[in-house]
Amino acid sequence: MFRENLYNPRSAKTARVRPFMENLKDQLSRLVGAALRDATGIADSDPNVITASRPEFGDYQANGVMAAAGRSGRGPRELAEAVVGSLRDDAGLIASAEVAGPGFINLRLNDQALMERGNGILGDPRMLIPPAGKPRKIVVDHSSPNLAKEMHVGHLRGTVIGDCLSLVLERLGHEVIRQNHVGDWGTQFGMLIAHMREIGEDSDLLRTELEDLESFYQAAKKKFDADPAFADRARLSVVKLQGGHPDYLAAWRIFIDESLRHCQDIYARLGVGLKLADLDAESRYNDDLEGIVRQLEEQGLLRESQGARCVFLPRFKGKEGEPLPVIVQKSDGGYLYSTTDLAAVKLRSHDLAADRSLYVVDARQSLHFQQVFAVARAAGMAANMSLEHIAYGTIMGSDGRPYRTRSGDAVKLADLLDEAVSRAFELVSVKNPELDESERRRIADTVGIAAVKYADLSKNRMSDYVFDWSTMLSFEGNTAPYLLYACTRIKSVLRKLPNESGAGKIKTLVLAEERALLLKILQLPEVVALVARECYPNLLCNYLYELSGAFMRFYESCPILKAEAETRDSRLGLTLLAEQALEQGLGLLGIRTLERM
């Protein structure tokens, strides 16, 4: 996986491949867009270049003529013919441009240009995805567990989607600041501290109890609900903690450190890049909250409602048309998540000077973020920073409800990963009983974790999805095992090379399967750019599944090792390029590949 910025714009190698730094779609959009603007005189004409839906329509289609015709007062087909006539393609990328239907333009690319592009990046996987033209500083707020409990299945999506987006943005050369905005402050910690003090902070029993944070939390909650005296002590503990009492802060620190250790164990197993240095805890902003309220007041945005201090913005109304408040300070003087989130916006915009701030958080928090973002903009806290809620749906069980254990408890993420690896080990043992146990367990660990992550990332993040073991661990369809197997299949071909042979230049595209595979490989950068812009990892998953299918069709139709020398070397070049694209694409999903499976 490529986590660091691998491109130096001034390096000799980067300068040498600059003709290929622009992806195919962007290059076509620039060429057709220039011709469209020349034909209409409209500066913001959008050529709307898309991948062709069917091979007979070419490789790409430009569909923007229809909209431009309406604005220019010309007939769509007449305008499309004018655009084709004025196309200037000095690089020779376009083999043909034909007007179809009422005004669509079908584009077929030049085989020689495709081979030159493939050969220009062959053997150097960094060149498969060119860097962004203008690197930006981007904050990615993801995972964000509540440290009062162990991470459960509900934390999976925010963790792996955020990690994937971070990897993609880093790969494009952006400066990514990961932020793990953990919940480590609030009334529930008073309950936990009271329970800790009853057990005894220095006792061996406490250390044993803290090994299972979920049970520890449930025991404290049971006492809180059943014992009024304990509940009073818990509330007093909150006051002591927020007042900075050293004993209570020390107890809180013990619990937080243990909880963070649990989180880091999960991140390590998932192969997620969050580190302790990325911690952006709610407690970090305690000293800033009063200043946030004061700033809102100075700007005339605050109003009092039932003792609470609120911001009312006209765009937010309830079902009956009543104004909805954004409460920033409760009647008892306490602060809320909205206040903390405003402080985080201000820090990311003013102190970190970020260009974008992505919040990878459950879709059920949509209204909260709409309100926080609106208040932040109204108060000038966001400056020129883009605020984006990267919402996602819920993981469901087969009963159509949020995925839980049979007893109704939240499924611990650690237990889920254990079961994934266990099930993968059974599959690997059936398929490869000749491998020794340690090798089977190593493969199972990679396959099991990849299956869980890919099952999530391959779904449209806005949709709920049903968690199903048999589907995610299948070796057929759009799954991690299928893609990992495809990758090992390609590697096995390359391992069979005679010692004197090697992957050569791509010199021929005789069969349709050869050309289709090369074109699909070269479309990787435009897919990655789209994921970076729109933040939908499933687009990359769909691409990798299509790439694997394109390679399998190529493999079945085009003899490689048994072909004549020149054809063999050319097809080996294609094979190597396919391996690099597939491996790098999986790496951007945070999935490790295998040599054998």
> Per-residue pLDDT tens for 353-366?
999 999 999 999 99
Cα angle value 56/58/59 (rounded, 5°) = 130
Cα angle value 306/312/315 (rounded, 5°) = 140
Flag the least confident range among 203-207, 358-362, 381-385, 520-524: 203-207
* pLDDT tier, 503 (very low <50, low <70, confident <90, very high otherwise): low
Q: Which of 2, 6, 23 is nearest to 528 (CA)?
A: 23
Asked whether the predicted pLDDT for residue 10 surpasses 80, the reply is no
Pairing of strands 386-392, 356-362: parallel
* pLDDT tier, 498 (very low <50, low <70, confident <90, very high otherwise): low
Alpha helices (H) in 379-505, listed in sequence order = 413-431, 437-457, 469-472, 480-495
Residues 6+ apart with CB under 8 A from 507: 115, 566, 569, 570
Q: Return the pLDDT at 133.
A: 84
Distance (Å, whole) CA 85 – CA 67: 19
Residues 6+ apart with CB under 8 A from 198: 230
Q: Return the pLDDT at 124.
A: 75
pLDDT in tens, 512-552: 999 999 999 999 999 999 999 999 999 999 999 999 999 99
Mean pLDDT calculated for residue range 116-126: 84
391 SS3 class: strand
What is the phi/psi pair of residue 328, to 5°? Answer: -110, -15
Asked whether the predicted pLDDT for residue 461 surpasses 80, the reply is yes
Alpha-carbon torsion angle 435, 439, 443, 446, nearest 10 = 180
pTM greater than 0.85 (yes/no): yes
Asked whether the domain spanning 137-182+283-396 has the same topology as the one spanning 12-109, the reply is: no
pLDDT in tens, 140-191: 999 999 888 889 999 999 999 999 999 999 999 999 999 999 998 877 888 9
* pLDDT tier, 243 (very low <50, low <70, confident <90, very high otherwise): confident
Mean pLDDT calculated for residue range 199-208: 69
Asked whether the predicted pLDDT for residue 87 surpasses 50, the reply is yes
Q: Return the pLDDT at 201.
A: 62
Alpha helices (H) in 143-227, listed in sequence order = 156-171, 187-199, 204-210, 213-226
Flag the least confident range among 484-493, 536-545, 560-569: 560-569
Asked whether the predicted pLDDT for residue 17 surpasses 50, the reply is no
Mean pLDDT calculated for residue range 5-15: 37
Mean pLDDT calculated for residue range 297-312: 94
pLDDT greater at residue 245 or residue 591:
591
Flag the least confident range among 14-28, 222-236, 270-284: 14-28
Distance (Å, whole) CA 532 – CA 438: 38
62 and 88 Cβ atoms separated by less than 8 Å: no
344 and 285 Cβ atoms separated by less than 8 Å: yes
Give the DSSP H or E segment for 124: none
Mean pLDDT calculated for residue range 203-219: 77
Q: Which of 61, 63, 68 is nearest to 39 (CA)?
A: 68
Token match 């306490």: residue?
334
453 and 589 Cβ atoms separated by less than 8 Å: yes
Across the beta sheet with 308-317, what order do the strands follow?
302-305, 308-317, 323-329
Distance (Å, whole) CA 318 – CA 194: 39
Domain spans of the chain, in order of start: 12-109, 137-182+283-396, 187-272
Q: Return the pLDDT at 502.
A: 57
pLDDT in tens, 26-54: 999 999 999 999 999 999 999 999 999 88
CB atoms within 10 A of CB 486: 24
- Mean pLDDT of the chain, nearest integer: 90
Mean pLDDT calculated for residue range 285-296: 95
Fill in the DSSP letter of residue 282: G
Distance (Å, whole) CA 234 – CA 239: 9
Fill in the amino acid letter for 311: V
pLDDT greater at residue 538 or residue 6:
538
Mean pLDDT calculated for residue range 476-483: 96
pLDDT greater at residue 581 or residue 91:
581
Assigned CATH for 137-182+283-396: 3.40.50.620
Assigned CATH for 12-109: 3.30.1360.70
Asked whether the predicted pLDDT for residue 443 surpasses 70, the reply is yes
Q: Return the pLDDT at 142.
A: 98
Distance (Å, whole) CA 141 – CA 177: 8
Token match 């042979």: residue?
501
